[in-house]
Amino acid sequence: MNDCIFCKIINGDIPSIKVYEDEQVYAFMDITPLSKGHTLLIPKQHVQDLLDMPAELASHLYRVAPIVAKAIYNAFTPDGMNTLNNNGAAAGQTVFHYHLHFIPRYGEEGLKWVWETTQPSQEQLQAAAQAITAQLNA
């Protein structure tokens, strides 16, 4: 895709600091990190989001994800790590090429969470589960 910043990185048109690369995926340092070691893992094939990704590519990307995560843990010994993916503008996606963030956590630095949860009834949870299950079985 011509205007995709991540495709330009993969093609070498924009420089990046590579962490990992194979025939299907590329991992590199985020240029606006939330913490030390913040890394992105992307497929080389342009796919907009997780919903657009072929199963075989997703399988490979998520086989590589623990390798990248362990390398970050071994390099920096963070207290924890968020792995984060935003799908769609409403979810905060700003670059429309799938990317998985690895965000090492050191105490309270970096990413801040504000969870506004709901309190659905058991019947509402059951109805939601049935709707999802019906789609999985379709």
Which residues are catalytic, by number?
99
What CA dihedral angle connects 72, 67, 114 and 77, to 10 degrees? -30
Query: How far apart, in whole angstroms, are the C-alpha atoms of residue 130 and residue 75?
Result: 43
The H helix count followed by the E strand count for the chain is 3, 5
Nearest to 39 by CA among 49, 50, 52, 29: 29
Assigned token pair, 50: 């997780």
- Per DSSP, which regions of the chain are E strands? 18-21, 25-29, 39-43, 80-84, 100-105
Q: What angle do CA 67, 51, 136 make, to 5 degrees?
A: 100
